[in-house]
Amino acid sequence: MPTLFERIISGEIPSDRVYEDERCVVFRDIAPQAPTHVLVVPRKPVPSLEGDLDASLAGHLLMVARHVAHLEGLSAGYRVVINCGSDGGQTVDHLHVHVLGGRTLTWPPG
Ligand code: AMP
């Protein structure tokens, strides 16, 4: 069964895409937790940060997160989050990097 994010990447499920390249796709989160909330998702369906991920792809996802933060005009800062596993709050089993910004974010998370 393809993951939800594979179905979004293939276009079967619509999304508001803000960036894409040969290794990843970035689209707006359907339930944004900040004025800007996008997800950087590898085309390769790695289940989580614990999955089959190499340093090159991991680094690329982070560089894209930074690039998209710049595209979104988050000059005052932003937060990059990877939820991993049930205790980490991961709900979609396809690795994704959250980029949140556009308001002052509090710490610690819940
Ligand atoms: P996580 O809880 O870290 O696994 O994050 C999954 C994220 O996917 C949540 O922030 C959801 O709001 C988001 N999400 C779920 N379905 C969709 C969808 N169809 N389009 C965009 N974002 C989605």
Which residue's alpha carbon is at the smallest distance from atom 19 of ligand 1?
A: 30
**How far apart are the C-alpha atoms of 23 and 38, rounded to whole Å?**
16
φ, ψ for residue 39 (rounded to 5)?
Answer: -120, 125
**How far apart are the C-alpha atoms of 89 and 97, rounded to whole Å?**
13
CA 59 to chain centroid, in Å, comes to 13
Is the distance from the beta carbon of residue 36 to the nearest atom of ligand 1 less than 6 Å? no
Pick from 8, 76, 5: nearest CA to 36: 76
User: Given this model, what pLDDT does residue 57 score?
Assistant: 98
Average pLDDT of span 13-29: 98
For 29-61, how does the pLDDT look when each residue is reduced to its tens digit (9 = 90+)?
A: 999 999 999 999 999 999 999 999 999 999 999
Average pLDDT of span 91-107: 98
Which residue's alpha carbon is at the smallest distance from atom 13 of ligand 1?
A: 29
How far does the centroid of ligand 1 lie from the alpha carbon of residue 30, in Å? 6
Catalytic residues: 96
**How far apart are the C-alpha atoms of 100 and 79, rounded to whole Å?**
5
